């Protein structure tokens, strides 16, 4: 038994990181399998736009226009949008595993439940991104980088009508919180603040999300963590108690 436990401890990094990567791939596959209802998605996008006007947060067109005067910056944002979502999140989980096993478990569970909630909303409330909703918002990834990331009858990478909630925003905000909580250096904490801000700006400038989408993304992740973190912390309490009695 002792030998088996030692083997499992040695394999734990591979199993845990593999689990996170596997869940990310399941998310990607499920997103592609969600049926694409374009007429409903465009109607829902206009509902979101109307809600933003009521709330006075419909800033997408103005923000994008300001950045279109800097095409090289927009090209960099296109690359950042296409590459950062899974890559940076994967690197974060590898780092967090070695930094704090307890933190890794909390964030793994919170990400999992928050993403599952988002997938259900994507299925039940398909929403086109601003760039595809006939609102005068440009598709900067297509315009400057010549990459088609999804449009009617051309869904190359994923289901493009999964704008609400934005998991680009939700994952980035949760990742930033993780860096702020667990980084040991001031530089890591600064990155924890700047990375979500960069993602939020990028998803608006590239025309892929409304500001409301980012708020919704933060909300589903908050629900995921609120539901799972207390359970994870309660499970950790017996281990702390045992370590204390041993004088560790």
Token pair, residue 100, equals: 């704090």
What's the pLDDT score for residue 243?
A: 42
The pLDDT tens digits for 22-35 are 766 676 666 666 77
Does residue 47 sit in helix, strand or coil? helix
The residue ranges of every structural domain in the chain are 37-245
What's the pLDDT score for residue 242?
A: 44
* Residues 2, 54: Cα–Cα separation, whole Å: 63
* Residues 29, 200: Cα–Cα separation, whole Å: 24
The pLDDT tens digits for 165-201 are 999 999 999 999 999 999 999 999 999 999 999 999 9
Share the mean pLDDT of the chain.
85
177 closest CA partner among 90, 237, 112, 92: 92
| Stretch among 80-89, 146-155, 162-171, 216-225 having the lowest mean pLDDT | 146-155
Q: Which residue has the tokens 């593999």?
A: 18
* Residues 11, 154: Cα–Cα separation, whole Å: 42
pLDDT higher at 18 or 63? 63
Task: Note the pTM of the prediction, 2 decimals.
Answer: 0.84
Token pair, residue 45, equals: 């996008």
Q: Identify the sign of the CA torsion 173, 176, 182, 186.
A: negative
pLDDT higher at 19 or 214? 214
State percent of the chain over pLDDT 70.
Answer: 78
What's the pLDDT score for residue 230?
A: 87
The pLDDT tens digits for 138-165 are 999 988 888 877 665 554 556 788 899 9
pLDDT higher at 87 or 23? 87
State percent of the chain over pLDDT 90.
Answer: 62
The pLDDT tens digits for 38-77 are 899 999 999 999 999 999 999 999 999 999 999 999 999 9
Token pair, residue 16, equals: 């845990």
């Amino acid at each position: 038994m002792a030998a088996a436990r030692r083997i499992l401890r040695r394999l734990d990094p591979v199993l845990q990181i593999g689990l996170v990567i596997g869940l990310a791939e399941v998310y990607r596959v499920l997103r592609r399998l969600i049926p694409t209802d374009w007429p409903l998605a465009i109607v829902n996008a206009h509902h979101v736009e109307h809600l933003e006007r009521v709330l006075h947060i419909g800033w997408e067109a103005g923000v994008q226009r300001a950045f279109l005067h800097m095409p090289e910056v927009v090209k960099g944002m296109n690359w950042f949008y296409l590459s950062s979502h899974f890559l940076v999140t994967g690197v974060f989980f590898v780092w967090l595993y070695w930094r704090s096993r307890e933190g890794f478990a909390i964030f793994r569970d919170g990400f999992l439940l928050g993403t599952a909630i988002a997938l259900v909303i994507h299925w039940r409330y398909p929403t086109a991104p601003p760039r595809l909703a006939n609102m005068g918002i440009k598709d900067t990834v297509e315009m400057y980088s010549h990459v088609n990331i999804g449009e009617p009858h051309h869904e190359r990478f994923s289901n493009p009508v999964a704008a609400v909630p934005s998991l680009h925003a939700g994952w980035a905000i949760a990742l930033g919180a993780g860096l702020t909580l667990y980084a040991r250096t001031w530089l890591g904490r600064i990155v924890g603040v700047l990375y979500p801000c960069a993602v939020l700006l990028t998803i608006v400038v590239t025309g892929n999300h409304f500001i409301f989408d980012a708020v919704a993304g933060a909300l589903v992740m908050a629900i995921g963590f609120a539901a799972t973190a207390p359970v994870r912390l309660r499970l950790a309490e017996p281990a702390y108690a045992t370590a204390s009695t041993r004088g560790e």
